Amino acid sequence: MLVHNRRKRKKLTSQFLGVSFCKQMKNWIGMVVHKGKRYWLGRFDSEEEAAKAYDEKAKELFGEFARLNCPPESVESRALFARIGKNLAWLKQALAKIWLSVGGRVRNIFEQIAG
């Protein structure tokens, strides 16, 4: 089967390759599969730590052909942007509630200022 013909997997527990969440232990698991053998990387407190461990082992096993989660400096960036996105969604909801509660006269003033 060609890769581009595969269906996307649903209900993934992690956004990173080789990382999954263990519901029973409430932590993240890292694992790499190479030539049919599974390499257990351990249990981690954060998804990002498990992703880093995966990247290190993948580089060791696959060398320049390793499929990495992201460049080393951007694992933290990806986590930061995820947190910012959640905060922005919350802020957008809060502003929408405020906007609905503001009277018509005040709305007109805001619209005039916004231009």
8 A C-beta contact, residue 53 and residue 46: no
Q: Using alpha carbons, select from 7, 25, 15, 84 the residue that is nearest to residue 54.
A: 15
According to the model, what pLDDT value does residue 3 have?
43
Model pTM above 0.75 = no
Q: Report, as ranges of residue numbers, the positions in the chain whose pLDDT lies below 50.
A: 1-4
List CB contacts of 76: < 8 A, sequence separation 6 or more.
Answer: 48
- Do 63 and 107 reside in the same domain of the chain? no
- Do 67 and 84 reside in the same domain of the chain? no
- Do 50 and 103 reside in the same domain of the chain? no
- Do 77 and 67 reside in the same domain of the chain? no
